[in-house]
Structure formats: structure tokens, C-alpha cells
């Protein structure tokens, strides 16, 4: 188990990073538990496929573990990890554009009629009205298609700021740009999405 901080509460990111560097690899398990859901969510919104998002996220955690000595400030682990996830996701999209789309074996075998977004979503927020799931699936497909059409910088800024609700400063840190650039990318992305989804929203 990761060592607790002096106050007896859960250790913060910096303490967990320190423990990992000291050789206690189990401390990294807590970092994975702490950030896995968000990492998968960001990857999924960028690559559009749950199986690929899980693969990208797993790769990101492996890279983070191997490169944790390069992290200057342990308090910034979350931003650093999401930057890795974002870069891997964008690289994955570029590679997929070259080799063409692929359907995972898991997606082929899965026959429960559940959309990837629904499997990630909180069941307590599901809409039980007749036809609502079908309409939600249709809208989800349209939104994913619209996101895929955005330039990388606009899509990334929109996903991190509007969908994942990260602070603009953290988005800027993840993307390696200024806060003003993030605001501009989000503004342009929202404008384009409003035009693309005019029949739905």
C-alpha cells in the first residue's frame, strides 16, 4: 500500500510520485486508479473508439511509469499524464488515417447493443424514455463525426476544456500553448460544431 502523508490522509500526487521514484511501484497503482477514468475519457473523445482509447491509455501509463524521473514537479502528474494521452491519441489518429480504420475483435464480438459512450457513462444519468437511447446513439455518432472534422488543435482544446472541464491553464500546459490560444481554439471549435450540429442543437 502507498504510504500515507504525515497528516494521515491520502497521499497527494507529489508524494505518490516520490514513492514511485523511491522504488515503491505500488504507489503508481494509486496514480493509475486516480487518473484512469479521465485518461480513457480523453483518449476516447480523441480517437472515437473505446478499445483504441483503452490501448492508448494503457500505453500512456506505461510511458509515464518509465519516464517518471523526467517529471520535474510531482504535483503536475495529472497534467503531464494527460499531455502524454493527448499526444498518443493524436499520433494514433494520424497512423489510422494512413492505414485506414480498423475494427477491433472485441467490438466485433460484443453484441450487447450498448454504445461505447453508454458503457463509459454513469448509469444513474441514463434516459429511460422510449427511443431516447436510439436518439442518443445517433447524436453521439454525429458529434463524433463533427469532432473528427475539426483541426487537431481545436478538437484537443474542446475535448479537454469543454468536455473534460479542465481549467484553461491546465489545457494550455497539456497542449504546450498559451491560455489565449486555448480560448481561440475552443471558440473556433464551438463555432464549427454549432454549424455542423444545427439540426440537433
Verdict on whether the full-model pTM lies above 0.85: no
| Position 121 pLDDT exceeds 60 | no
pLDDT, residue 125, reads: 44
Choice between 3 and 191, residue whose per-residue pLDDT is larger: 191
pLDDT, residue 109, reads: 40
CATH (residue range 129-201) = 1.10.10.10
Q: How confident is the model at residue 201 (pLDDT cuts 50, 70, 90)?
A: low
φ, ψ at 198 (rounded to 5°)? -55, -30
Helix, coil or strand: residue 127: coil
Domain limits, the chain: 1-106, 129-201
Tell me the average pLDDT of the chain: 81
Cβ atoms < 10 Å from Cβ of 152: 15
End-to-end CA distance of the chain: 48
Averaged pLDDT for residues 4-21: 81
Using CA atoms in the order 116, 118, 123, 126, what is the torsion angle rounded to 10 degrees?
Answer: 180
Equal fold, 1-106 vs 129-201: no
φ, ψ at 5 (rounded to 5°)? -75, 170
| Position 189 pLDDT exceeds 60 | yes
pLDDT digits 0-9 by tens, 64-109: 999 999 999 999 999 999 999 999 999 998 887 776 555 444 443 4
Question: In angstroms, rounded to a whole number, what is the distance separating the alpha carbons of residues 176 and 147?
Answer: 21
Would you say the C-alpha torsion 140, 56, 152, 91 has a positive or negative sign?
negative
pLDDT, residue 56, reads: 94
C-alpha cell read off for 49:
473508439
CATH (residue range 1-106) = 1.10.1740.10
| Position 40 pLDDT exceeds 70 | yes
Averaged pLDDT for residues 111-124: 44
CB 71 within 8 A of CB 17: yes
Amino acid at each position: 500500500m502507498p504510504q500515507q502523508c504525515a497528516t494521515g490522509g491520502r497521499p497527494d500526487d507529489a508524494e505518490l510520485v516520490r514513492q514511485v521514484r523511491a522504488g515503491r511501484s505500488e504507489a503508481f497503482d494509486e496514480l493509475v486508479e486516480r487518473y484512469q477514468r479521465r485518461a480513457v475519457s480523453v483518449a476516447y473523445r480523441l480517437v472515437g473508439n473505446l478499445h483504441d482509447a483503452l490501448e492508448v491509455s494503457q500505453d500512456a501509463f506505461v510511458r509515464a511509469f518509465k519516464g517518471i524521473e523526467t517529471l520535474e514537479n510531482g504535483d503536475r502528474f495529472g497534467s503531464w499524464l494527460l499531455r502524454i494521452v493527448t499526444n498518443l491519441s493524436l499520433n494514433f489518429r494520424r497512423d489510422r488515417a494512413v492505414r485506414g480504420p480498423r475494427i477491433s475483435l472485441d467490438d466485433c464480438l460484443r453484441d450487447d447493443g450498448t454504445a461505447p459512450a453508454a458503457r463509459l457513462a454513469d448509469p444513474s444519468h441514463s434516459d429511460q424514455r422510449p427511443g431516447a437511447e436510439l436518439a442518443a446513439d445517433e447524436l453521439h455518432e454525429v458529434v463524433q463525426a463533427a469532432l473528427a472534422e475539426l483541426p487537431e488543435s481545436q478538437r484537443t482544446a474542446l475535448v479537454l476544456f469543454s468536455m473534460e472541464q479542465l481549467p484553461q491553464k491546465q489545457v494550455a500546459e497539456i497542449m504546450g500553448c498559451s491560455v489565449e490560444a486555448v480560448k481561440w481554439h475552443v471558440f473556433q471549435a464551438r463555432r464549427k460544431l454549432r454549424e455542423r450540429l444545427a439540426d440537433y442543437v
